[in-house]
């Protein structure tokens, strides 16, 4: 499908040119393993980011990492290009410990809004000029900033629930206007977990939406900072995006740690990883479809159950491969835990059977969903997300591709075995809920193609070259002050990890860039001005997982 937004080859910006753009504003250089880094003053943030965006084309604020050193606070803006994500630059903004105030980047990149709220919440940096400086993940009453150095975890915290004071409010009407305030969630079937959406309604039209997150903030970053690189971190990624997308998440950690510690992965293991990851993607997209139908139709009987049926098959295959249904913990640094299950032919045949049956199932979904008139009326031209807006919010994955943004890290920033396989990146230019569903449906077919090719490779792989793991030292201690940001294409989009090594066997800072976090932050753009059922549909089409939003 022609998108009108065909991929333009990105102009390569050399380091000299970058230095010229940043100019005198660069106090020092602080290069990361993945990108050149510039240290700037806290009041130059907007200027520098604006110049880098407009003159050098860095239009994607992939991540914002905040951390505290003994002598300073630091915010790192990781910039990339949608047109070519291998071009990266880091902007490092140190502030003093006495007065951690830094200029906000929100006017340049909308997505900095939520990121800076998170940085304030967890680390304690203030962003001057921020439009909405509230806590985002922790309750309003929380004392202290848990990822700062002097935080005392043993101190009890008091969390109140104001709604308890007056459980039956007499009237939800606003006195002055004609609008009505409505709480959706945190316990609500359409929020896909524990999301709280504060909605203001004018009649049936949504006037204002404020997603309130943090109901599943399980301190994933702290957990990873407490674990050793070699084995203790790997189980956690499974629990970020827990919709069977475990292998994709594990790959995010495997990729960043392997690049950090310079570990090779045998090619055979890469093929297994690629196959496993795509199976995970199919399972994840199946659930997205199933729950989307549940949201739009309230259909618990047909499509939801069909989706679950197909997921069961995928989960069976993954269980054969990894030994677990949901939390696989199958990747190791330098490879995978073990080879394909024996007898190998049986496993390959079982997977092939599933792939052979898939086209018929996809037809079934098309009959039930995408070709269905009711479904089309419900989803066409609702939840519009323009590509420029999507880029401002840092949307990636099927959400961005449904808005015609041709961005897929599997192709653009290749890893694993994707480079050697035949497959296509799916984009749709409808920008609406329907397009996002279509993208997922077609990605299932593309994933099937990838798995098919991997199976062929695995079947014919020479017997004596089936190495599943390379030699990795028992204790990994990357050099102190090595910093790296790496991302993979998760089920929901760009899943990135920033690690700063501090010379020990545990990361000094472990920051997760979650695609759902960005995608969800774009919800107000999609929902405001629409009917409330369309907002629910938009939320479903974003396919968020709260474990990954809140981390």
Partner 1 sequence: MSSEQPRQQIYDSTAPSTDTRDSRIGEGADDRFNSKLREAFGSTPFILTKFDKFMNWVRGNSMFMLQFGIACCSIEMMHTYAIKHDLDRFGAGVPRASPRQADVMIVPGTIVSKFGPRMKRVYDQMPEPKFVVGMGSCTISGGPFQEGYNVVKGAEEIIPIDIHVPGCPPRPEALVYGIAKLQERIRNGESTPVVVKPYELEEFGDLPKDELVQKLADDIDEDDLVMRYNWADSP
- The span of 21-29, 94-102, 301-309, 367-375 binding partner 1 (CB under 8 A) equals 301-309
Among 193, 394, 397, 416, binds partner 1 (CB under 8 A): 193
- Asked if residue 326 binds partner 1 (CB under 8 A), the reply is yes
Vertex 509 angle, CA 254 and 392, to 5°:
80
Cα–Cα distance, 279 to 453 (Å, whole number): 13
Nearest to 244 by CA among 312, 335, 192: 312
Residues with Cβ < 8 Å from 537, sequence gap 6 or more? Answer: 292, 295, 296, 378, 379, 382, 383, 433
Which of residues 537 and 546 has its CB atom nearest to partner 1 in the complex? 546
What is the Cα–Cα distance from 207 to 271, expressed in whole angstroms?
Answer: 49
Nearest residue (CB) to partner 1, 304 versus 415:
304
- Residue 89: in which H helix or E strand, if any? strand 88-96
Cβ burial, residue 172 (10 Å; 0-12/13-18/19+): exposed
Nearer to partner 1, 137 or 426 (CB): 137
Residue 550 beta carbon to partner 1: minimum distance, rounded to whole angstroms: 8
Residues 234-293 that bind partner 1 (CB under 8 A): 235-236, 239, 242-244, 287
Q: Is 171 helix (H, G, I), strand (E, B) or coil?
A: coil
Distance, in Å, from the CA atom of 254 to the CA atom of 330, rounded to the nearest integer, reads 11
Among 2, 24, 150, 164, interactor with partner 1 by CB under 8 A: 164
Q: What are phi and psi of 486, to 5 degrees?
A: -135, 150
Residue with tokens 């951390």: 67
Contact with partner 1 (CB under 8 A): which of 222, 372, 467, 482? 222
Task: Compare residues 244 and 427 and give the one whose CB is closer to partner 1.
Answer: 244
**H or E element at residue 65:** strand 60-68
Q: Residue 217 or residue 332: which is nearer to partner 1 going by CB?
A: 217
Report in angstroms how near the CB of residue 305 gets to partner 1 at its nearest: 5
What count of residues does the chain have? Answer: 551
Measured from the CB atom, the residue of 48 and 546 that comes closer to partner 1 is 546
* Residue that has been written with the tokens 């510690």 in this structure: 261
Among 110, 117, 130, 192, binds partner 1 (CB under 8 A): 192
Give the phi and the psi of residue 37 in degrees, each rounded to 5.
-125, 140
Residue 220 or 258 with smaller CB distance to partner 1:
220
Tell which one of 163, 176, 178, 422 touches partner 1 (CB under 8 A): 163
Rounded to a whole number of angstroms, the minimum distance from the CB of residue 505 to partner 1 is 17
Could you tell me the smallest distance in angstroms from the CB atom of residue 218 to partner 1?
4
Task: State the nearest-atom distance from the C-beta of 84 to partner 1, in Å.
Answer: 35
Nearest to 277 by CA among 341, 224, 236, 322: 322
Q: In 3-state terms, what secondary structure has residue 39?
A: strand
Stretch that binds partner 1, among 59-67, 215-223, 336-344, 535-543 (CB under 8 A): 215-223
3-state DSSP call for residue 186? coil
* Site residue total, partner 1 (CB under 8 A): 51
Q: Which of 26, 216, 256, 384 binds partner 1 (CB under 8 A)?
A: 216
Stretch of 96-104, 134-142, 399-407, 444-452 contacting partner 1, by CB under 8 A? 134-142
| Residue among 78 and 440 whose Cβ is closer to partner 1 | 440
Q: Which two tokens stand for residue 450?
A: 């990838």
Let me know: does 512 contact 220? Beta carbons within 8 Å: yes
Sign of CA dihedral 82, 83, 87, 93: negative
What Cα–Cα distance (Å) separates residue 480 from each residue in 91, 311, 506, 508? 20, 43, 11, 9
Q: Which is it for strands 101-103 and 126-128: parallel, antiparallel or unpaired?
A: parallel
Per-residue mark of binding to partner 1, 168-187 (x: CB under 8 A): ------------------xx
Q: Of 5, 20, 308, 480, which lies in the binding site for partner 1, with binding defined by CB under 8 A?
A: 308
Tell whether residue 226 is a contact of partner 1 (CB under 8 A). Answer: yes
Using CB under 8 A as the binding rule, whether residue 36 contacts partner 1 is answered as: no
Give residues in contact with partner 1 (CB under 8 A).
Answer: 137-139, 142, 146, 151, 153, 157, 159-161, 163-164, 167, 186-189, 192-194, 214-220, 222-223, 226, 235-236, 239, 242-244, 287, 300, 304-305, 308-309, 311-312, 315, 325-327, 546-547
């Amino acid at each position: 499908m022609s998108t009108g937004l065909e991929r333009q080859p990105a102009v390569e910006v050399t380091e000299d040119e970058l230095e010229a753009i940043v100019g005198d504003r660069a106090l020092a250089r602080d290069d990361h393993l993945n990108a050149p880094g510039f240290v700037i003053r806290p009041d130059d943030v907007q200027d520098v980011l604006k110049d880098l965006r407009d003159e050098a084309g860095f239009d994607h604020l992939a991540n914002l990492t905040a951390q505290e050193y003994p002598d300073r606070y630091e915010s790192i803006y990781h910039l990339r290009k949608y047109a070519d994500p291998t071009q990266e630059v880091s902007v490092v903004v140190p502030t003093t410990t006495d007065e951690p105030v830094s200029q906000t980047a929100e006017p340049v990149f909308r997505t900095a809004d939520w990121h800076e709220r998170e940085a304030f919440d967890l680390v304690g940096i203030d962003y001057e000029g921020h439009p909405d400086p509230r806590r985002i993940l922790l309750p309003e009453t929380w004392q202290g900033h848990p990822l700062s150095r002097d935080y005392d975890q043993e101190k009890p915290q008091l969390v109140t629930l104001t709604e308890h004071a007056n459980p039956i409010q007499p009237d939800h009407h606003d006195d002055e206007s004609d609008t009505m305030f409505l709480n959706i969630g945190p316990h609500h079937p359409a929020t896909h977990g524990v999301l709280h959406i504060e909605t203001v309604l004018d009649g049936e039209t949504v006037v204002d939406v404020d997603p309130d997150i943090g109901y599943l903030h399980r301190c994933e970053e702290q957990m990873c900072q407490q674990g050793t690189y070699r084995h203790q971190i790997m189980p956690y990624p499974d629990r970020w995006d827990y919709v069977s997308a475990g292998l994709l998440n594990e790959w995010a950690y495997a990729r960043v740690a392997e690049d950090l510690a310079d570990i090779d992965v045998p090619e055979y293991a890469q093929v297994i990883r690629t196959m496993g990851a795509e199976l995970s993607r199919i399972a994840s997209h199946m659930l997205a479809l199933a729950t989307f139908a549940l949201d739009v139709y309230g259909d618990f009987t047909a499509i939801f159950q069909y989706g679950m049926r197909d997921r069961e098959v995928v989960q069976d295959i993954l269980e054969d491969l990894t030994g677990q249904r949901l939390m696989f913990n199958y990747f190791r640094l330098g490879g995978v835990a073990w080879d394909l299950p024996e007898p190998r032919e049986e496993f390959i045949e079982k997977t092939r059977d599933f792939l052979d049956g898939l086209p018929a199932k996809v037809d079934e979904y098309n009959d039930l969903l995408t070709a269905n008139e009711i479904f089309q009326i419900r989803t066409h031209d609702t939840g519009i997300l323009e590509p420029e807006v999507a880029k401002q919010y840092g949307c990636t994955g099927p959400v961005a591709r449904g808005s015609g943004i041709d961005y897929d890290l599997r192709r653009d920033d290749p890893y694993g075995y994707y480079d050697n396989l035949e497959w296509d990146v799916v984009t749709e230019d409808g920008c609406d809920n329907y397009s996002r569903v279509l993208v997922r449906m077609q990605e299932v077919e593309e994933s099937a193609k990838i798995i098919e090719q991997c199976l062929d490779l695995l079947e014919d792989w020479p017997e004596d070259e089936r190495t599943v793991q390379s030699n990795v030292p028992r204790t990994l201690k990357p050099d102190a002050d090595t910093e790296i940001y790496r991302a993979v294409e998760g089920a929901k989009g760009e899943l990135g990890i920033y690690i700063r090594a501090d010379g020990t066997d545990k990361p000094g800072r472990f920051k997760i860039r979650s695609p759902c976090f960005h995608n969800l932050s774009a919800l107000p753009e999609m929902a405001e001005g629409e009917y409330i059922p369309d907002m629910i549909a938009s939320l479903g089409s974003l396919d968020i997982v709260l474990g990954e939003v809140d981390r």
